[in-house]
């Protein structure tokens, strides 16, 4: 059934007639449902038939509605680099190749890559994206439709000519100018659409790590860091040797003083801001999960990127025991395993399926939470994003009802088991239909 409204058209009041609703993890209801939307938020979720003011009506009775997915780690600038670097290489060799590819890409190419990638996210039900941005930070994407974009400005001072204090000053100005939201679309951002992303402990000096953490804490901006991603990173910090160590020392001979004998996580633990977003955390010492828990950090796991590098098993159980929040994200298409289509690289359902195969004991409802309520909590938007309920943002996507079985309580498991094969039919952001599949 087609929507009885213009796609993307704003409206202060509208009603969605759905064939079922998965309001959140463990909260599925079958049969016809009615979602009342006012000013971009959900005013009510109820059975149809109650009297209501005249409203624009979306007839989605052939669809099941889910909360929009939240992707906390993506590099949209690398969208054009799907399968450009072969898997099976060392991490330091991959770093050299990605640096060369970025240097060869013009700003126009990177902007186009971000725009294309944002569209692919939207088509898979993702409505909020935290995008790590280097050379195109602040440039308009000129998108007619798209997800909520949080631009995370990448910071690093390992390369020659990069000054930590200059980067911190620029970052402070970046945050101060961020109230207009990312992509030049003020209505897209219910919060400041900007964040800080010091790259990693091996690409940032102590001053840049600590200064950016203070700046994030003062401003309330999200702060995110690649941490303990590879075995080479571990070896560099523990023993001051290996490919990554040699790469950094070749750039700056003084690099890495003071690293020896500590894990990457132990090295940066004192600088982590409360609620920081740590990406990867694949290689942890026994006490590292407790260090992350003490800072209320969120760990972002990217299953397909993890598979691309052939990392050791992700320490999910250890993080869970320590009480660390773990979420799923997609990372970039530059770490997409062979055989995975580029358009599936930003499909969180495909990443969730890979996670479930590695961790079969995790309940489907908990996996859904890792893409909805948990990342919303990490952004400080609990009760606003990642669920469908009264007062929440009207960020939704719809699956075909015919592709799911008769039992609502099994719908999430069926969708996850399909690994993205049950595709979205439409995606809504702030009450506007931003994308809808052609009939």
> What pLDDT is attached to residue 48?
83
> CB 51: neighbour CB atoms within 10 A?
4
- For residues 437 and 439, what is the distance between their CA atoms, to the nearest angstrom? 6
Q: Which pLDDT value is given to residue 119?
A: 93
Q: Edge-to-edge strand order for the sheet containing 13-24?
A: 41-46, 27-38, 13-24, 56-67, 396-400, 426-429, 432-436
Give the fold, CATH level 3, of 13-67+388-436: Urease, subunit C; domain 1 (2.30.40)
Can you name the CATH fold of 69-378? Answer: TIM Barrel (3.20.20)
Ranges for all domains in the chain classified under CATH 3.20.20.140 = 69-378
Both tokens assigned to 180:
């207009």
Q: Classify residue 261 by its DSSP letter.
A: T
pTM of the model: 0.93
pLDDT at 12: 59
Give pLDDT tens digits along the chain (439 positions). Answer: 434 334 444 445 678 989 999 988 888 888 889 999 999 999 999 888 765 555 688 999 999 999 999 999 999 999 999 999 998 889 999 999 999 999 999 999 999 999 999 999 999 999 999 999 998 887 888 777 889 999 999 999 988 778 899 999 999 998 888 744 433 343 433 344 899 999 999 999 999 999 999 999 999 999 999 999 999 999 999 989 999 999 988 888 888 877 878 899 999 999 999 999 999 999 999 999 999 999 999 999 999 999 999 999 999 999 999 999 999 999 999 999 999 999 899 999 999 999 999 999 999 999 999 999 999 999 999 999 999 999 999 999 999 999 999 999 999 999 999 998 999 999 999 999 999 998 6
Between CA 41 and CA 180 the distance in angstroms is 20
| Number of CB atoms found within 10 A of residue 162's CB | 16
Among left, alpha and beta (phi > 0; psi -120 to 50; other), residue 322 is alpha
Enumerate the CATH 2.30.40.10 domain ranges in the chain, comma separated. 13-67+388-436
CB-count burial class (<10 Å; 0-12, 13-18, 19+) for 135:
middle
Report residue 163 as tokens. Answer: 């000054």
Cα 232 to Cα 83: distance, rounded to the nearest angstrom: 22
DSSP class per residue in 201-229: TTTS-HHHHHHHHHHHHHHT--BEEEES-
3-state secondary structure 184-207: HCHHHCCCCCEEEEECCCCCCCHH
| DSSP character at residue 380 | T
pLDDT for position 184: 37
Structure tokens at 141: 């994407």
Give the pLDDT score at 56.
81
């Amino acid at each position: 059934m087609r929507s009885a409204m213009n796609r993307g058209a704003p409206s202060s009041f509208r009603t969605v007639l759905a064939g079922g609703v998965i309001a959140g993890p463990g909260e599925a209801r079958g049969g016809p449902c009615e979602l009342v939307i006012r000013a971009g938020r959900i005013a009510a979720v109820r059975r149809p038939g109650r009297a209501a003011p005249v409203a624009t009506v979306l007839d989605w009775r052939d669809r099941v509605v889910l909360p929009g997915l939240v992707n906390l780690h993506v590099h949209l600038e690398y969208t054009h680099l799907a399968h450009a670097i072969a898997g099976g290489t060392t991490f330091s060799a991959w770093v050299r190749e990605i640096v060369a590819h970025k240097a060869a890409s013009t700003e126009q190419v990177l902007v186009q890559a971000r725009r294309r990638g944002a569209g692919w996210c939207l088509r898979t039900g993702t409505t909020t994206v935290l995008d790590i941005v280097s050379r195109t930070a602040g440039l308009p994407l000129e998108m007619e439709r798209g997800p909520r974009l949080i631009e995370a400005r990448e910071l690093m001072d390992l390369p020659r000519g990069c000054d930590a204090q200059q980067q911190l000053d620029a970052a402070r100005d970046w945050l101060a100018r961020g109230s207009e939201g990312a992509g030049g679309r003020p209505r897209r951002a219910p919060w400041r659409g900007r964040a800080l992303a010091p790259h990693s402990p091996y690409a940032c000096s102590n001053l840049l790590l600590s200064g950016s953490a203070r700046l994030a804490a003062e401003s309330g901006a999200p702060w995110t860091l690649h941490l303990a991603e590879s075995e080479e990173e571990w070896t560099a910090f523990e023993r001051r040797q290996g490919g990554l160590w040699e790469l950094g020392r070749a750039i700056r001979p003084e690099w890495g003083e003071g690293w020896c004998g500590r894990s990457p996580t132990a090295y940066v633990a004192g600088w982590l801001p409360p609620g920081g977003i740590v990406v990867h955390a694949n290689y942890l010492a026994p006490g590292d999960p407790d260090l992350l828990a003490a800072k209320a950090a969120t760990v972002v796991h990217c299953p397909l990127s993890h598979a691309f590098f052939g990392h050791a098993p992700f320490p999910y159980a250890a993080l869970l025991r320590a009480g660390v929040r773990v979420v799923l994200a997609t990372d970039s298409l530059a770490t997409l395993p062979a055989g995975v289509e580029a358009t599936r690289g930003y499909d969180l359902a495909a990443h969730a399926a890979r996670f479930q195969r590695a961790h079969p004991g995790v309940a489907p409802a908990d996996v859904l939470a890792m893409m909805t309520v948990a990342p919303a909590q990490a952004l400080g938007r609990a009760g606003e994003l990642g669920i469908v309920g009264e007062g929440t943002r009207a960020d939704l996507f719809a699956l075909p009802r015919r592709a799911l079985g008769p039992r609502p309580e099994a719908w999430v498991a069926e969708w996850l088991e399909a690994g993205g094969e049950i595709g979205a039919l439409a995606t809504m952001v702030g009450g506007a239909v931003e994308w809808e599949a052609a009939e």
